Every structure is written in C-alpha cells, then in structure tokens.
Structure 1
Amino acid sequence: MSLDVYVCGVGMIPFTKPGASEPYPQMAARAARTALADAGIGYELVQQAYVGYVYGDSTAGQRALYEVGMSGIPVVNVNNNCSTGSTALFLARQAVASGAADCVLALGFEQMSPGAIGSVFKDRPSPFERFDEVTDELVGRGEVPLALRYFGGAGLAHMQQYGTQLTTFAKIRAKASRHATNNPLALFRNVLTEEEVMASPMMWDGVLTRLMACPPTCGSAAAIICSSEFAVSHGLSRSVRIKAQAMTTDRPTTFEAGDMREVVGFGMAQEAARQVYEAAGISPHELDVVELHDCFAQNELITYEALGLCPPGGAEKFICDGDNTYGGKVVTNPSGGLLSKGHPLGATGLAQCTELVQQLRGTADKRQVDGARLALQHNLGLGGACVVTLYERV
C-alpha cells in the first residue's frame, strides 16, 4: 500500500559564500523553523527527521535539530553526495507513503569551504576510484580538477558527437543568471551575457569556462512531508502532492559504455525519469517547470536529453530556440539553478523542492511560471545516486 504524500511546508535560507554563513546548526535550524511555520505546525508534531549533509561529522543532524527541539524522535543522518537533500526527501516520502509516519521533516544543510570539492579521508580507498580510472582513460590525466574533468568531459562528448558549440553552454549560464535576478535567496543575482560567460577564465581550453561551473556555497533548506489524514486533521494545505518519485544508482554502463556522459549519471537520470513518468502516467512534454542539477552548464545540457525534454542530440536546438525558459516549452531552473543560486551539497535537493512547491502554489512572485501544474525535480550525486521527483498541483 502506498498512501498519498503532500509537501505541506517548505523553507530555505539565503545561500552565501563560504566563510560568510552562520555555523551549520544555526543555518539548519532557521530553515527547519521556516518550513514548520510555512506548514503551520510546531516541531512537536514531527514524528521522524531525515537530515542530509556531506561535509560534517556523524550526528551533525542531531546537533542541528537540537536547536529546534529535543523531542526524542528518530533522526537519520543522510549522505549521498550532491543528491543528499533529495535522498532525505526520498526517505521522508517513503516513510509517509508506507504509513510508518504521518509527518516527517526532511532537512539539508552544508557549511562548505572555498575552492574545488575534494576528498576528506585520504587514508582509505576513494569511492571515486573507478570513476577516476575511466575518466583518465576517456579524457586523459591533467591539471584540471576532477569535477571539471567529469562534467567537462561529458560536455565534450556531446560536442564531439553532435557538434555542439561552446557558446551553447554559455547560453545556459546566461539564462540561469536572468532567472536568478528574480530570486532573493540566490547567491549570484547579477545578469550575465553569453559573451561575459565566454570571456571568463578558461578552465579547460575549448571545453569549459569558470562561469559554467557552480560555486561552493553554504546554506540550508527543509520540507515538511505529511499524509493526507494528518494534513486534514491539522488543517494543513494539501495543494502540492508528490505524484511519483524514483531513486537510481549506477549500472555497469557507467564504466563500460566508454562515454563520459554515462560516467556523470546520464543513465541514472534517464532511468529515474522513466520510472517516474511511467508511475505517473505522463510524458515529459506535459511538464510545466523543471529544477534540474546544473552543477555545470554541461550537465544541464545533457540532462535535457536524459529527462526526455528533447530528443537525443536535440539539446542545442532546444536551447537556441528558447524552449528552456519563459515562453518556451518548459521553464528550467526558474530559481537560477545551482549555477546562480549556489550549491550547498546537502541542501540543494530541498532548495529545488522549495522552488517547485512555490511554483505550484503560485507564490513564486516574479519567477512564477504561469499555470504551473506539473513540476519535475532532478538531483544527482556522483558515486552515484539520482533522485527524480514529480510534484502535482492539487
């Protein structure tokens, strides 16, 4: 049996540069309180909590929630790389859908350091060993940081197969900046032109400029997930329902396909989206708004194809025709996405949830997608995990 699941409250704090944020317990507590207030309930009604973060010691989730209350409920700490926030959401939805709980908090936060993401535990095997080996084979070794080689390599594969231009990735970054200017919670709100993106320092010659990569960011976001019965009995809004959700992990093709797009999760995303569309009984062309994992402009482009927003090889035309923004086929990343909003790893999935819930409620102000009824969320973590969630306005 699977019960209907509603997002009854969401909350997010402004994202900031590393060193400019509050410590993680204060950030997380503010996001959790905002979500509780949005739902219209107190913490004493929350029965379970799933708390996501990547960089932090064990039980940091409890440390954060003790700032909100100490009610003795189960608190589960979650780490699934960049998909951590949506993994917490997946577990919260699963708890409510199964009837194990009626009201669950999904919370994500990250207190990051400046610079490229790196390994913390250097005295043991890295979970990326096989990813690194395949990447070395496909794009070679070099001085470029691994994350840039992963996603830059995926973009390069698309360029080599379909003739995609570097300027197309710049168009994605410029679009993100135009969307973010209307988001008061985004880190970067200045509008960038395609020419400015192209003129930024080249991180990998002919493949990637600095502005095509998202920045390390600190922040927090949260969601209150409830059953229909709980929402009705406590007078909570049931305007947004999770219609379908799927989580996938890597299959052998990740390492065997000889394609950097597979290394960075194209297949995981494609399969998760397929499961969601099948469960919901819809096609991707029925979507109104999408928040997808644009850690690099290159990943946004290949994700259009993975999610079925356009056919294989059709992403460049999709972008150049303006089908990824207001007035086009589906508005992607109205929040500004990771590229402009920022990417505090553990919080990202729940920040995406917050944006889409506001879109479906019709409360997104200048970012509002007119008549939004179906919203899709895509959150990816290398190593790997991909969570795709479909929300429906009820």
Structure 2
Amino acid sequence: MTTIVAGVGMIPFAKPGASAPYDTMGEEAVRLALKDAGLGYEAIEQAYAGYVYGDSTAGQKVLYRVGMTGIPIVNVNNNCSTGSTALYLARQAIESGAADCVLAVGFEQMRPGALGSIFEDRPSPFEEFDKVTDDLVGREEIPLAIRYFCGAGKEHMDRYGTRMETFAKVRAKASRHAARNPLALFRKELTEGDVMQAPVIWEGVMTRSMACPPTCGAAAAVLVSESFARRHGIDTTVRIRAQAMTTDRPSTFEACDMMRVVGFDMAKEAAQKAYAAAGIGPEDIKVVELHDCFAQNELISYEALGLCGEGEAEKFVVDGDNTYGGRYVTNPSGGLLSKGHPLGATGLAQCYELTHQLRGTADARQVEGATLALQHNLGLGGAAVVTIYEKA
C-alpha cells in the first residue's frame, strides 16, 4: 500500500532556554502539519510521538493540546533516530492497513552542554560502546559524543589520509545551505578558514564549529493511504517509496573500528535495503538529508550511503559533489550542523525539508529536477532509518 506524505510542519529551532516549552512547540508543529494537509485533528487515527529527554506520556501532553479524541498515542524514544522511528511506525500503520491517516510528531526541549545519561543508578545502554571507545580512542577528558564521532573521523583520517580541512569544507557547505533556510538556527555563512580557526576540541581532528549544537524544536508529518487521499482530495505529490530500519550487528563492537561503532554498518545496510526495495541506486538520487551531528559523520555517511566509494569521501567533498552543481545536494536545509539537532524532532525535520524539495516549494534552496530524495537518520545505541521519497 502506498504511503502519501499529506502534510508537514516545522517550527524554527532555538537554543536551549530560548524556546517555548516542549508541549507548546509540539502543538505548533502538529497544527502546521494538519493545516498543510488540509485536515482536522479528528481525521487522525493513530499518533506516534518522539522525544528523548522527557517524562513518560509527554506525547499525550503535546497532543491533548490539539485534541482529545481517544486515539492510540505511542511514545517513541530511539535516541537521535527518534523522529524517523516515529515516521517508520506511522508508515507501517498505513501500509499494514491498520489506519488510513496517521500523525508522527517529534519534539525536544534540551539543556545546554554535552549529552549525558540521566539515570546513573543502572546499566547504561552505552556500556559496550564506551568499552570499545575506551580501547580504541582513550581521551576520557573529552565528552563521549565527541569521542565517538570524532574518533570515527580520526579513523577515516588515519586509514585514507583525510585532512581536517575537509571536515571544515563540510561544515562551511552546511552554513552556505543554511543561509537560504529561514528555519535554520545558525544562518551565518562560514568559510573553511572560519571553521578551522574556531576553538579546538581535539587537536588535528575537530574544532567546535564541526559539532551540531544542542537545540530545542519540533516537527511533524501526516501520512495517509492513497485511498484516503483520493477520498479527501489530498495532494499526492510526495510518497514514501521505500524505508528501512536497522540496528547494530556484532561488527559494531568486534571490528575494532570507530566508524563501525558510530553506525557505519547500520547505515550501509539500511541504505542497501531501501535502494533494493525502491528498485533504484544511489545514482538516481539528487537530494539527501543525512545525519550530520558532526562534520566527521557527514563525511563518513557519504560512503555508508553509497554516494561515493569507501575511501573516496574526501575527493567527493573537494570536487563539490555534495552541494549545488555537484552529483548530490546534501543537507540543503543546513543539516544538524546549522539547522540544529533537537533529538526527537530531527528525523521529522528532515522529512519536512525533503517533502518541500519534491513539491518544488523549497524556495532559495530548491534542488532542480529532484524526483527522488533520501533521508538518513542515525541514533547510537542504536538504530538507523533510511527513507526514500518520490515525486508522483
């Protein structure tokens, strides 16, 4: 059964302390998605609400502000892939025939500073990740997320000769794209030199500008079946053609490779499954929203998603194949690096961007001729979701 993206909504992301509370943000994103779809909340049959930092049933708190219709509301937490996991579940509900009109919403009200565990009195889901990272990276004085992803970046540098300046090029590209996006948090254009001159976090590997900031925000999508769309006169321009979700295999810990620790194999497998289900290859895609929590992870993800061969990502960047005029436009929104990364909302913000790209309504950041789009959202712990959208 075909799944139609009937409506999308997103609010501008904000720094911690500068946003409305999570329930207000989530409500606004839902109302925007419903308005975009031309539907009232009474049409929604199920809802999936994604967030990471929040108490149980926060999804109900958000959605009760829109309406109390007695529908099933499922709260979702899958780390940084939470938003796309909510989308995955909503799409499954449509394609299984369980429902004809389903809402996915993601929101996050974050605190300043590095991510960390909330519950210190029980085993951490990251114990195995931390053990491998301690063995391969060390550097215990550096926050864990940086050790993970910049450790992976250093692995790529050591293996393929990738330069720190190449990560700076990725970050500068993100800023140029974000300058065209009124919903992006950081819209100031940065040069490669600006990125290199930012405060050093890991000598020879990373500056502060290469990391996405903790961010607050919300985004939502309304998915419907094709028969529902016909009955209600809904625009069927954008469809989910294929979607795959993967979790870790033993290679994450056994390969002694930081790129595997941060999800390279999960992303590669999800992408291969999605391409196969869609009957296409990466060469058929023109626009990509991928999980650039660090510039290092964006570069590694080019290879995991098959946008270039393994070991070829630096050339891919230097040749400009990751931006307008190249082979692909990656993160036209500005990505997590510039748009911001409110964990629960990120996957649905990617859906928002790609929906507008395929509708041809992305304004100054429009990718010309885009008929297929790829979304990649990754959460350590772990889960990867790859979604392929098509223009009808």
TM-score (norm 2): 1.00
Output the amino acid matched with 1:43: Y
- Residue among 250, 274, 291 paired with 1:293: 291
Residues 1-394 of structure 1 aligned to structure 2 (within 5 Å)? 3-394=1-392
Counterpart-to-counterpart distance in 1, 2:11 and 2:357: 17
Counterpart-to-counterpart distance in 2, 1:93 and 1:73: 17
Counterpart-to-counterpart distance in 2, 1:347 and 1:142: 30
Counterpart-to-counterpart distance in 1, 2:314 and 2:25: 38
Q: What's the CA shift string for 1:314-349, capped at 9, x where partnerless?
A: 000000000000000010000000000000000000
Q: What's the CA shift string for 1:290-336, capped at 9, x where partnerless?
A: 00000000000000000000001000000000000000001000000
Counterpart-to-counterpart distance in 2, 1:248 and 1:6: 23
Question: Structure 1 residue 261: deviation in Å?
Answer: 0.2
The 3-state SS of whatever aligns with 2:344 is coil
The 3-state SS of whatever aligns with 2:180 is coil
Question: Structure 1 residue 140: deviation in Å?
Answer: 1.3
Counterpart-to-counterpart distance in 2, 1:132 and 1:193: 34
TM-score (norm 1): 0.99
Question: Structure 1 residue 359: deviation in Å?
Answer: 0.0
Question: Structure 1 residue 141: deviation in Å?
Answer: 3.8
Counterpart-to-counterpart distance in 2, 1:6 and 1:269: 24
The 3-state SS of whatever aligns with 2:343 is coil
Counterpart-to-counterpart distance in 1, 2:206 and 2:126: 22
Counterpart-to-counterpart distance in 2, 1:325 and 1:129: 37
Counterpart-to-counterpart distance in 2, 1:306 and 1:141: 26
Output the amino acid matched with 1:68: V
Counterpart-to-counterpart distance in 2, 1:156 and 1:264: 12
Counterpart-to-counterpart distance in 2, 1:142 and 1:281: 45
Counterpart-to-counterpart distance in 2, 1:202 and 1:268: 30
Output the amino acid matched with 1:346: G
Q: What's the CA shift string for 1:16-36, capped at 9, x where partnerless?
A: 000000001100000000000
Output the amino acid matched with 2:345: A
Counterpart-to-counterpart distance in 2, 1:159 and 1:286: 29
The 3-state SS of whatever aligns with 1:149 is helix
The 3-state SS of whatever aligns with 1:346 is helix
Counterpart-to-counterpart distance in 2, 1:140 and 1:46: 49
Percent identity of the aligned residues? 73
Structure 2: runs of 5+ lacking an equivalent:
none
Counterpart-to-counterpart distance in 2, 1:367 and 1:70: 38
Question: Structure 1 residue 142: deviation in Å?
Answer: 2.2
Counterpart-to-counterpart distance in 1, 2:145 and 2:239: 34
In the alignment of these two chains, the number of paired residues is 392
Runs of 4+ displaced beyond 3 Å: none
Counterpart-to-counterpart distance in 1, 2:159 and 2:135: 18
